[in-house]
Amino acid sequence: MGLQEIVKRIYHSFFATWSLVSVTVCILALAFRWEIILVPLFFALFFLTFLTSLTYIVFYSKNELSIRQIVVRLVLQFILVMGIVLTVGYFVGWITRQRPVYTIATVVSVIIIFSAVTAFELYQTWRLADKLNLKLRERSGE
């Protein structure tokens, strides 16, 4: 995957992830009966979403990736995203031993959001491949 495609993926991933993170925070606020959602929390999550979107750099390659390479890089990306979220969460104070429920909620949220964004991207890639295949069939006269 080339650099231009990586930048495009980072851009799309950022906005898809940011939307899902915002919805997740609102759901968690209702579930844990938070009285108020602070604006600095959204700025921190905005920055965190940007950092996790940068993990798409692991897909950079001058050559086309095989399915196995894609899967390995996807697993590596998930590990990086989880590491970034847990590390930032620990240093900011979102994740502590006194509140293990928040840690579990964070991990589950990351898994759900990562899976949803990945599924959305796979769907977009599949649609693009179908369009390209259709154009190739039309050109070849089938």
Model confidence over 20-70: pLDDT tens digits?
A: 888 888 887 788 777 766 777 778 888 888 999 999 888 888 888 888 998
Given the structure tokens 């799309």, which residue do they identify? Answer: 12
Question: What Cα–Cα distance (Å) separates residue 125 from each residue in 21, 42, 53, 90?
Answer: 23, 30, 18, 35
The predicted structure's pLDDT at residue 37? 66
Band (pLDDT 50/70/90 cuts) for residue 79 is very high
pLDDT of residue 83: 95
pTM to 2 decimal places: 0.78
Helix (H, G, I), strand (E, B) or coil at 95: coil
Contact 77, 58 (CB under 8 A): yes
pLDDT value of position 102: 83
